[in-house]
Chain A
């Protein structure tokens, strides 16, 4: 017999490294510049003056000020998410079901173009619109509806307005992605079976789109909760949110442990939301997105 003959099973199993080494540079970068720094935040928040302590978390929990900031962050994010949903759903429905195919591209462009500008620029636009001598005030003054400029900036409404403007594209695109996969003939079937237009929407279209609605809401909520630029520019110093506290502690007050502590709280909440988001997406098994893509 030739070289053939008996051989141990698995003898030729190639080493995992031999198959996966092209992954390594990116992986090393990720571990060193992403995983490691995130892991380092946690011990930072438990160390004051070189000694291990719970002081940071005690002060966060014990001080009503932090609770009020956390509460405001949540309130603003929930409100922004709901407004995004109410305004975003019709756009998604229009984009997938109603718009003429020739115009679809333009709708996509209008939805996506703002994403290509930074939050600073998009917030600036609202400073111009809502400012003391902004378009709204000038317009109302010009029409004689008011005598003195209204104070439209530096309050929670301004922050919500800015956040909604920034987040709507995410809501629209997430819902649209799900709606694309809902078979239009299901709606036809519902009509065929005697459902009215409104009934079809309530009983067929909307429930089938629910995963997209939930996913979009989770996504927008998480992004709102951690956004810094818009609240800082439109909210003013008296309407602080969590991200502003973190920035302040790290860059102005230089109380890094406290900043790290708040960052850990924010991170924990965000991870919880992502967990919910993934559960929604995987349980509903919304098709078309490839492996691993359900992550975001």
Chain B
């Protein structure tokens, strides 16, 4: 990799072109960061209309956020759903990924495509489709309905990440486990799972994130008496813009940064490029 970038530096694009690209790239990178910085900055304002640079400095809007049962409830719901969806997606996705990678069976390619296809269908369509189905079944406003929807939406991330980890481990090691007397369960628990630990963790984290940031499915499946945090923010923003919303968004940004650091320290941030 570094050899490649060195080659690029030597031969790819010379002089002015290189400076130009670097300049544009950093402007774009700055542009990627700036809006988040603006939000976080504005959240410390003292006034309730949104201002950047902030007017004064206070944490009152964070306090307001945590005093408001609607916000706190949505933060709680988002967190619960994200944890549960990530856990379920991992528990279901790991064995599925294992079979998809290791076993040869008719229709395997089709199964691969099917398992990844929730990534391809527009989320808003999945949202309305699930709303319709759950209405018929009578649990359109249940926690379980929202959770199952999230599991389906985020499981592909687990399958893809764990699948990639499985591809890179030597299947002979699994044979060695069987050869030494391990049954299937022991082989999975004692050999395969520890060997793809990184992939499992990354997959679970990606699943958590994708559930945590989801709006377009959640918006159709409100749980009785509560919405997830992004949906609450969306609903507020449609008719009012106050600093407490910016503070709520900032809290989500802190969580995002925490997750970035977490992923980087566990599996390296570049693995998230397959999101």
Direct contact of A and B (CB under 8 A): yes
* B120 in contact (CB, < 8 A): yes
- Assess whether B36 is in contact with A114, with CB atoms less than 8 Å apart: yes
Contact with A along B15-42 (1 / 0, CB 8 A): 1011011101110110111011011001
- Which of A98, A190, A222, A290 contacts B18, CB < 8 Å? A98
Q: Which residues of A contact B246 (CB under 8 A)?
A: 124, 128
Determine whether A46 belongs to the interface, using a CB cutoff of 8 Å to chain B: no
Which of A57-65, A143-151, A244-252 is found at the contact surface with chain B? A244-252
Contact A176 B124 (CB under 8 A): no
Q: Is A49 an interface residue (CB 8 A)?
A: no
Q: Given A90-B25, A97-B12 in contact, is the A113-B105 Cβ separation under 8 Å? A: no
For chain A, residues 60 to 116, give those with C-beta under 8 angstroms from any C-beta of chain B.
87-88, 90-91, 93-101, 104-105, 107-116
Residues of A within 8 A of B129 (CB): 37-38, 40-41, 263
Known: A165-B32, A184-B5, A197-B13. A250 touches B103 (CB 8 A): no
**Which one of B60-68, B110-118, B172-180 is at the interface?**
B110-118
Name the B residues within 8 Å of A94 (CB-CB).
21-22, 25-26
CA gap between A260 and B1 in the complex, in Å:
48
Among the listed B13, B52, B132, B151, which residue makes an inter-chain contact with A37, where contact means beta carbons less than 8 Å apart? B132
State whether B5 touches A116 (Cβ < 8 A): no
A120 touches B18 (CB 8 A): no
Residues of B within 8 A of A246 (CB): 124-125, 128
User: What sequence of 0s and 1s flags, for each residue 159-199 of chain A, a beta carbon within 8 Å of any chain B beta carbon?
Assistant: 00000010011000100110010011101101110001110
Q: Kindly supply a per-residue 1/0 record for chain B positions 235-275, scoring 1 wherever the CB is within 8 Å of any chain A CB and 0 otherwise.
A: 00110010001100100110111011000100011101111
**In the complex, which of the residues A25, A97, A122, A165 contacts B92, with contact meaning CB atoms closer than 8 Å?**
A25
A6 CB–B CB distance under 8 Å: no
Question: Which residues of chain B from 65 to 88 have any CB-CB distance to chain A below 8 Å in the complex?
Answer: none
Q: A98-B22, A121-B252, A247-B124 are in contact. Are A200 and B215 (CB under 8 A)?
A: no
Main secondary structure, interface of A, reads helix
Within the assembled complex, what's the spacing in Å between the Cα atoms of A94 and B20?
10
B5 with A20: CB separation less than 8 A = no
Is A7's beta carbon under 8 Å from chain B?
A: no
Q: A96-B8, A173-B273 are in contact. Are A124 and B115 (CB under 8 A)?
A: no
Shortest distance from the beta carbon of A98 to any chain B beta carbon, whole Å = 6
CA distance A100 to B1 in the complex (A): 11
Chain B min CB distance to A153 (Å): 11
Residues of B near A212 (CB, < 8 A) are none
Report Cα–Cα, A20/B103, bound state, in Å: 7
Q: List 23 A-B contacts (CB under 8 A).
A: A19-B105, A23-B95, A27-B114, A30-B152, A41-B128, A41-B132, A87-B31, A97-B8, A97-B13, A98-B21, A105-B270, A111-B32, A112-B272, A116-B209, A116-B255, A117-B256, A119-B216, A119-B230, A124-B237, A125-B39, A135-B52, A200-B11, A260-B132
Q: Which A residues fall within an 8 A CB radius of B?
A: 16, 19-20, 22-23, 25-27, 29-30, 33-38, 40-41, 44, 87-88, 90-91, 93-101, 104-105, 107-129, 131, 133-135, 165, 168-169, 173, 176-177, 180, 183-185, 187-188, 190-192, 196-198, 200-201, 205, 222, 225-229, 232-233, 243, 246-247, 250-251, 256, 259-260, 263, 266-267, 270-271, 274, 290-293, 295-296
